[in-house]
Amino acid sequence: MAPLAERLRPTTLDDYIGQRHLVGEGAVLRRMIESGRVSSFILWGPPGVGKTTLASIIAHQLQTPFYTLSAVTSGVKDVRDVVEKAKSNRFFNQASPILFIDEIHRFSKSQQDSLLGAVEQGVVTLIGATTENPSFEVIRPLLSRCQVYVLKSLGKDDLLELAHRALEKDIVLRDQHIELRETDALLRFSGGDARKLLNILDLISEYSENSGNAENSETAGESLIVTDELVTMLLQQNPLAYDKDGEMHYDIISAFIKSIRGSDPDGALYWLARMIEGGEDPAFIARRLVISASEDIGLANPNALLLANAAFDAVMKIGWPEGRIPLAEATVYLATSPKSNSAYMGINGAIAQVKQTGNQPVPLHLRNAPTGLMKELGYGKDYKYAHDYEGNFVVQQFLPDALKEARFWTPQDNPSEAKLRERMRQLWGERFE
């Protein structure tokens, strides 16, 4: 019998759970699907949030040929074969055939190039699904021809709705009389992933069949009472039963980054090893190191970003298994470096200010003046060219008038930023006291 996640896969938007910002009443994807005219787009989000299901719903609802490729098993020849089939199946005034590519981030540049012409000419409408940031993994010409829609992890209410639907409607679970008395562990281990939740329910179903509803559980007549203790016990006995790839990709990378942030090289190396042995994409690990170098080490040791970038380049050049060595070198260097998130906090503060205050006008002296009229209007007037002054610095206003007293960057307590703070004090005086 098919797994619960397949048995319960919805075929209409009305049965689809979650992603209301995309498929709720009046939302962009619902309007597109109901109109019967779908433009190319990429669905970006973590595992188990409904990317493949949305593509499946489109296949059921639109009267147009629908082709599916997996980036894991398909090559350039498979892409070209599908494009040729799409050309021959296109009828006058009919919407373009749809090509769904799962895990599109695993497509090589040459595979993506082979798609470009067909998408550009409207031979196919592309729907891609990815767990990775498309701006890193999808070539720019293809990305520019696709909208990107971000799918979110499912919330508590969505997961509970899904669980109750499974217990009430699935042909196997509804006859087992399973009762959810406690749900904290079920939700915690699911982590916003519908597939994880359904896999856990599958595990509970197997336990119900094999145990006679007695051992390690409370009973109420013929019902199996699900408690936090039962869910935890089952997952400890079957640690990979609830989607190893999902855990590897999100839980372990979290532990890896937090070990680096916490300055524990041993912990960081252990989680790095777990990812390597679990078959994680080395490019994903390398990107996370670059992000950590900027976010967590930052100005306390600017060389960290250089080394993380160098490790990324080295891994791309030498591949596995030797690529583990530069990754390990960068991991230890980042974990043992002093830490600062002042740049990270600074840009977050500036973005928050922009959202709050909107588009503040640029002061006239900072504006560009490429035409005579602009000069007459005062654009660029009274701007002071720093290199004309002693020390290549002169006090002037660089923020909008309404924000001229705002502060976004606050140096932190480490030797590198102490030097930067002292320099700013010498230049700006009380502003950096």
CA angle 112, 117, 120 (to 5 degrees): 105
- pLDDT confidence bin for 97, thresholds 50/70/90: confident
Phi, psi dihedral angles at 225 (to 5 degrees): -90, 120
The architecture (CATH level 2) of 244-336 comes to Up-down Bundle (1.20)
What is the Cα–Cα distance from 221 to 218, expressed in whole angstroms?
10
Residue 151 has pLDDT above 80, yes or no: yes
Write down the pLDDT at residue 218.
45
Query: What Å distances lie between residue 130 and 12, 204, 415, CA to CA?
Result: 22, 29, 41
Q: Which amino acid is at 263?
A: S
8 Å CB contact between 312 and 136: no
361-432 CATH fold:
post-AAA+ oligomerization domain-like (1.10.3710)
Tokens describing residue 288: 């996370």
Distance in angstroms between the alpha carbons of the first and the last residue of the chain: 69
Domain topology for 156-237: Helicase, Ruva Protein; domain 3 (1.10.8)
The pLDDT tens digits of the residues spanning 358-388 come to 888 888 877 877 777 667 777 778 888 888 8
Model confidence over 201-222: pLDDT tens digits?
988 888 877 665 444 444 444 6
CA distance 419 to 417: 5
Largest CA distance in the chain: 89
**Could you give the percent of the chain with pLDDT greater than 90?**
17
Domain 19-150 part of CATH 3.40.50.300: yes
Which residue type, as a one-letter code, is found at position 404? Answer: K
> Which is nearest to 43 in space by CA: 53, 33, 31?
53
pTM tops 0.85: no
Q: Compare 296 and 94 and report the one with higher pLDDT.
A: 296
Domain borders along the chain are 19-150, 156-237, 244-336, 361-432
Which run of H or E residues covers position 55? Answer: helix 51-61
Beta strands in 31-113 (DSSP E): 41-44, 66-70, 98-102
Query: Taking Cα atoms as reference points, which of 78, 69, 87, 63 lies closest to residue 127?
Result: 69
pLDDT of 212: 55
Measure Cα distances from 364 to 353, 377, 387 in Å.
Answer: 21, 9, 20
More confident residue, 321 or 286: 286
pLDDT digits (tens, 9 = 90+) for 235-287: 765 544 434 444 456 678 888 999 999 888 888 998 898 888 777 788 889 99
Write out the DSSP string of 198-245: HHHHHHHHHHHHHHTTTTTSEEETTEEEE-HHHHHHHHHHSTTTTTHH
Question: How is 136-193 classified by DSSP, letter by letter?
Answer: HHS-HHHHTTSEEEEPPPP-HHHHHHHHHHHHHH-TTGGGTTEEES--HHHHHHHTT-
